[in-house]
Amino acid sequence: MTMDFSGQVAIVTGAGGGMGRAYALELARRGVAVVVNDYGGGVLGEQNGSSGPAEAVVAEIAAAGGRAVASGRAVGTAANARSIVQAALDAFGRVDILVNNAGTGIAGAFTAHEDEAIERHYATNLIGGHHLMRAAWPHMAAQRYGRVLNVSSNGALGVGGNAPYAAAKAGMLGLTLDAAIEGKPLGILVNAVMPTSYSRLIEQIPDPATVAWFRDNLPPEKVAAAMAWFLSRDCTRTGRILLTGGGRLSSLIYAETGEIFDPEISAEKVGRRIEEIWDETTLAPVHNQAEAGARYFRHLPWTAADTPDFGPDVERG
């Protein structure tokens, strides 16, 4: 059964090449009108850019009979986020799907980079996506429907020599998990993906054999094909972290290891029982803050009349 994307509008950032282009083409071939956003700069965060790459993808979509417009705005500021969303509203009248794919690389030793490069990296890889969600959110909430995919990376788990990238991509996970809770009752589903794919960033790897393996086995089109379901009306899951590449798809969860409880806890007692804490034989999945907090109730029972609530006073699913 073919999924129905009729009448929908998507914004895809970083869509002038690589995975972003694959997302834009996949959605367009399914009938989605697409805002193809790409500032046309380098993958390492260079600031010189143009709308040329975005316009080239728009031409591809148009040649195949689809609908698309180009946006050459750089993600990273609230003003540009509002402009990108407005481009969707001006061209197509609505916004249903947001793929926060834009990203840059900044590998190197922990103290290797200039202040401006670090700040620009966070702006592109984390803050820009947050601003775009803020700009699109009211429109999605008003129509009681939205699908957001935030592109993270398994680099968030740690690589070495990649601290800004790891931190920004880990930030995308927190952004996803929190927004998913708030968005669910509004009809806005928010998920994250850690793709493993050939991309413009992979081309920066100095080892030719590694680049060739990615190119031959992990085309970006397979990431986009897998993620299309999570951007569809059929999807009912939110707050999930997906891992995909080359036709493989799984999900990643947080989990607690073994524990100790001692009302008289001390550093010395921790030292004596540390292996119990590291024990991974009885992992307990933790999907949100409420689940994490509830694990304390086994040792510290809740006695108040009201049901415990670890969240803020906002509408949440």
How many domains does the chain contain in total?
A: 2
Active site positions, annotated: 165
Structure tokens at 268: 């010395």
Residue 2 lies in a domain: no
3 state SS of 44? coil
Q: What is the CATH number of the domain that holds 81?
A: 3.40.50.720
Average pLDDT score over the chain: 92
Domain boundaries, position 247? 9-252
Confidence of residue 307 (pLDDT cuts 50, 70, 90): confident
- Tell me the H-state helices in the chain: 18-29, 52-63, 78-92, 115-122, 128-142, 163-183, 208-217, 220-227, 267-278, 289-294
Same domain, 233 and 278: no
Same domain, 274 and 227: no
3 state SS of 147? strand
* pLDDT tens profile 240-258: 999 999 999 999 999 999 9
Domain final residue pick, 252, 277, 305: 252
Q: What percent of the chain has pLDDT over 90?
A: 78
Residue 96 lies in a domain: yes
Confidence of residue 303 (pLDDT cuts 50, 70, 90): confident
Residue 4 lies in a domain: no
| Amino acid code (one letter) for 112 | A
Amino acid 317: pLDDT: 43
Amino acid 314: pLDDT: 58
Mean pLDDT of the region 11-27: 96
Same domain, 43 and 158: yes
Same domain, 211 and 307: no
Confidence of residue 316 (pLDDT cuts 50, 70, 90): low
Q: Count, in order, helices (H) and strands (E) of the chain.
A: 10, 10
Q: C-alpha 111: how far from its chain's center?
A: 26
Same domain, 310 and 233: no
Same domain, 281 and 151: no
Tell whether the model's pLDDT for residue 185 goes beyond 90: yes
Q: Which has more confidence, 260 or 308?
A: 260
Confidence of residue 204 (pLDDT cuts 50, 70, 90): confident
Q: How far apart are CA 161 and CA 283, in angstroms?
A: 29
